[in-house]
A = this chain, B = another copy of it.
Amino acid sequence: MDKQSKIEPKVVTQIGFIVKDIGETTRSFAEFFGVDIPEINWTGEYKEAQQQYKGKPVESRAKQTFFEMENIQLELIEPDDGPSTWRDHLEQHGEGVHHIAFVVKDMKQTVKTLEGLNMPVIQKGEYQGGRYAYLDSFNQLKVMLELLEND
Contacts and interface: CB of A to CB of B under 8 A. Distances in A.
Interface of A: 1-7, 9-12, 15, 17-19, 25, 28-37, 68-72, 74, 93, 95-97, 100, 117, 138, 140-143
21 contacts: A1-B37, A3-B35, A5-B32, A7-B32, A7-B33, A9-B70, A11-B71, A12-B69, A12-B71, A15-B15, A17-B143, A18-B142, A25-B142, A28-B141, A32-B140, A32-B141, A71-B71, A71-B72, A72-B72, A96-B96, A96-B138
A144 to B, nearest CB: 10
Copies in the complex: 2
Contacts of A93: 93, 96
Nearest to A68: B10
Nearest to A71: B71
A1 B32 CA distance: 10
Contact of A97 (B30, B95, B143): B143
